[in-house]
Amino acid sequence: QVQLQESGPRLVKPSQTLSLTCTVSGASLSSGDYYWSWIRQSPGKGLEWIGYIYYAGSAYYTPSLRGRLTISVDMSKNQVSLNLRSVTAADTAVYYCGRDDSCGSVDYWGQGTLVTVSS
Amino acid sequence: QSALTQPPSASGSPGQSVTISCTGTSSDVGAYNYVSWYQQYPGKAPKLMISEVTKRPSGVPDRYSGSKSGNTASLTVSGLQAEDEADYYCSSYAGSNIVLFGGGTKLTVL
């Protein structure tokens, strides 16, 4: 059974970098069958796709975050990472990782982790 | 690219059918048969209910169905049950490795 678990700091100061890790079990990132997504949800708001990565390292980002966002993969640890630089309060959200078929169909999700940007 | 457009709310009585729309453009919903629908309960992660416009993953009741016409996709829930009360989100592939979500629809079972 595929399971995903997000981890990382729950509180980040404005202008700093938000870093999260998604640990995948029950599936190998190196199988090449799927993309691995990050999706966020601001409090009381809808879902926002922020990007995904293929095991070979090709990452794709939503245009509004391009320039601040890096998604990477560590196949030795079967983990996907997210780094969002120069954060503001608008980046406060629950961040989910998920397994994507590359066309937006996410069939497995992590439980999500709330990250608050505040001084 | 802009988010897909969904009605903020929908409702129906137990046993009835309700349809939620998801409107995009000719560059996303209208261009690709890659529309997905998700169900989300408060405080929980979303759950995939429909993929590729009409495909139901294993374990999803057949009361849930999807369709598409032009730039608008739809999710229909038939035989409404109390457990169907949740938020529903659509997503669509928009080309160039970009995915868009809709703003979400809160479904209330009266």
pLDDT recorded at residue A31: 83
Residues of chain B falling short of pLDDT 70? none
Helix, strand, coil percentages (3-state) for chain A, rounded to 5, are 5, 50, 45
Note whether B82 contacts A: Cβ–Cβ < 8 A. Answer: no
From B68's Cα to the closest Cα of chain A, the distance in A is 16
Note whether B11 contacts A: Cβ–Cβ < 8 A. Answer: no
pLDDT digits (tens, 9 = 90+) for A21-54: 999 999 998 887 899 999 999 999 999 999 999 9
Chosen for mutation from A61, A103, A114 (greatest number of chain B CBs closer than 10 Å) is A103
Q: Is the dihedral of CA A47, B101, A70, B41 positive or negative?
A: positive
Which letter does DSSP use for residue B68 in this model?
E
Q: Among partner residues B32, B45, B52, which is closest to A111 by beta-carbon distance?
A: B45
Give the range among A39-43, A95-99, A100-104, B20-24 with minimum mean pLDDT.
A100-104
pLDDT recorded at residue B45: 98
Q: Do B34 and A104 touch (CB under 8 A)?
A: yes
pLDDT recorded at residue B43: 95
Compute the distance between CA of residue A83 and CA of residue B102 in angstroms, rounded to an integer: 25
Contact B90, B10 (CB under 8 A): no
What's CA A36's distance to the chain center, in Å? 8
Beta bridge partners of A4: A24
pLDDT digits (tens, 9 = 90+) for B77-87: 999 999 999 99
Chosen for mutation from A5, A36, A47, A52 (greatest number of chain B CBs closer than 10 Å) is A47
